Amino acid sequence: MTCHLQPVSGKEKAEGRGSKEKGKAAASLSDEEGAASAVSFEKLLLDNPMDRNIYNAYAQSLVGEKKFDEAIEVYRRALLLNEELTNNKGTPLSEAIEEVYALKNFSEAMEKEPSWGLAQKISFTGGELVTNIPQEYSAPLVQDLALLMSEEKTLLEEILGPPRGEEPFLKISVAGRPEEYKDLWKEKNFSPKRLSSGAYSIGENEIVVFFTGTDVRWTLAHELAHCFLREYYIKQPSLFLDEGIANYISFKLAKAGAKPLVEELVGWLKDLRKEGKLDMALDLFPAWERYEQAPETEEKMEFYLRTWSLTAFFREGGNAFFSKFFRDFLQYELEMGPLSRKDVENYFRGNLPEETARELDAAWGQFIEKMDYDNI
């Protein structure tokens, strides 16, 4: 199973802490818990009335409780202070309000839909979609899916060469209720501790996705990349290749519908750079080891952001030597895989002498510092 990366959200971000379960589809809080959360955020705003991060976290907490009108009101409070706010980066507040309206409209529409037991099967070229979301959402999703799959195959061929395998038959399940999504997750034997907004079942060509009413192509692009990589190129890709390619493709092909998520992830990447955690590119390997030892923690996010930014740099950094190094590595893995973490590390260190590795550190760091939503 592979799961897609998630941003930090809610109160943990407002207070500068990490979270083991970032952005997951959680059930609503109880009324008492919700009230306590609201009081906590109001206290934070008393001390930091101009910090947009707190408004963001407050509103998202209310969204998690399905208190959409209250979330909109929090964003409107921030909008009145727009020019005076600190940490006022990322998605414009007006767009954040529009997204909450979209979440509200979908939530209300789902109240009229049947349970998952009566979900429909919708055929498309290459597979079937099982869902109980309203038709006004499922119909465009099926149309977008065909285009997305075509774009993914084209980009993968550009990166890895002609496909070596046959077209898979995909089974994609899209749930619109948190409780039904959790049940679906268990039914497919995914780990409850790794609940996220999407996952791909290796060997089964099954993808499960949680739909909230906003664009879900980013999640689908990520999970489809895991599937196509295995079906067309290599059955057991290294974790670096697997997540690097999946993250790169989802950012390249589906960022337009996931602007808040993408901006948050770019911001997180830059924060790690400022904290000195991304000074050396080959620290990828101790980060990889930490992730393998503790996959439920923030080590996952650091590793995912490393694989994405390194893949993007090798592909688009404008350095002919490092672009060739990456192409050679990809062909090496396709021919020699499966590769372990140690195998990949030996390849990198064996082909990047110390002086060249330092050049990589500098060029990669400059690349990260220039990254933003418009140029990734």
Could you list the beta-strand ranges (E) of the chain.
Answer: 2-3, 120-124, 127-131, 170-175, 198-201, 206-210
Is residue 163 reached through a cis peptide bond, with omega within 30 degrees of 0 on the bond before it? no
Q: Is pLDDT of 235 > 70?
A: yes
Split at pLDDT 50, 70, 90, the class of 18 is very low
pLDDT at 32: 57
Q: Taking the model in full, what pTM does it have?
A: 0.87
Give the bridge partners for 210, in sequence order: 175
Q: Per the structure block, which two tokens stand in for 130?
A: 């099982």
Question: Distance from CA of residue 294 to its chain's centroid?
Answer: 19
pLDDT at 27: 32
Locus of tokens 């994405």: 308
Split at pLDDT 50, 70, 90, the class of 35 is low
Q: Distances in Å between the alpha carbon of 266 and those of 218, 251, 271?
A: 15, 10, 9
Backbone φ/ψ region at 16: left (φ over 0), alpha (ψ -120 to 50), beta: left
Distance CA 303, CA 287 (A): 6
Q: Per the structure block, which two tokens stand in for 250?
A: 């989802």
Q: Distances in Å between the alpha carbon of 224 and those of 157, 219, 258, 300?
A: 14, 9, 16, 20
Split at pLDDT 50, 70, 90, the class of 336 is very high
Q: What is the pLDDT of residues 150-162, one digit of tens each?
A: 999 999 999 999 9
257: nearest Cα among 226, 305, 207, 222: 222
Q: Is pLDDT of 259 > 90?
A: no
Q: Is pLDDT of 7 > 50?
A: no
Average pLDDT, the chain: 89
Q: What is the pLDDT of residues 188-209, one digit of tens each?
A: 888 877 788 899 998 899 999 9
pLDDT at 19: 32
pLDDT at 300: 87
pLDDT at 202: 86
Q: What is the pLDDT of residues 308-317, one digit of tens each?
A: 999 999 999 9
Beta-sheet pairing, 198-201 with 206-210? antiparallel
Q: What is the pLDDT of residues 163-190, one digit of tens each?
A: 998 899 999 999 999 999 999 999 988 8
pLDDT at 33: 57
Q: Pick the more confident residue, 54 or 27.
A: 54
What residues contact residue 175 under an 8 Å CB cut-off, 6+ apart? 116, 131, 132, 133, 181, 184, 208, 209, 210, 211
Split at pLDDT 50, 70, 90, the class of 284 is very high
Exposure b/e, 276-294, CB count within 10 A at least 16 = b: eebeebbebbebbebbeee
Q: What count of residues does the chain have?
A: 376
What residues contact residue 225 under an 8 Å CB cut-off, 6+ apart? 152, 156, 245, 246, 249, 250
pLDDT at 194: 78
pLDDT at 9: 37
Give the bridge partners for 130, in sequence order: 121, 173
252: nearest Cα among 207, 214, 222, 273: 222
DSSP label at residue 86: B
227: nearest Cα among 246, 251, 254: 246
Neighbours of 255 (CB within 10 A): 21
**In this prediction, what percent of the chain has a pLDDT beyond 70?**
90
- Averaged pLDDT for residues 265-280: 94
Coil/strand/helix, residue 113:
coil
Q: What is the pLDDT of residues 87-141, one digit of tens each?
A: 888 789 999 999 999 999 999 999 999 999 999 999 999 999 999 999 999 999 9
DSSP label at residue 375: T
Q: Is pLDDT of 24 > 50?
A: no
Domains of the chain: 2-110 (1.25.40), 116-233 (3.40.30.160), 253-370 (no CATH)
> Picking from 50-54, 98-102, 290-294, 322-326, which range would have the lowest pLDDT averaged per residue?
290-294
Question: What angle is formed at CA 299 by the lines to CA 182 and CA 239, rounded to 5 degrees?
Answer: 80
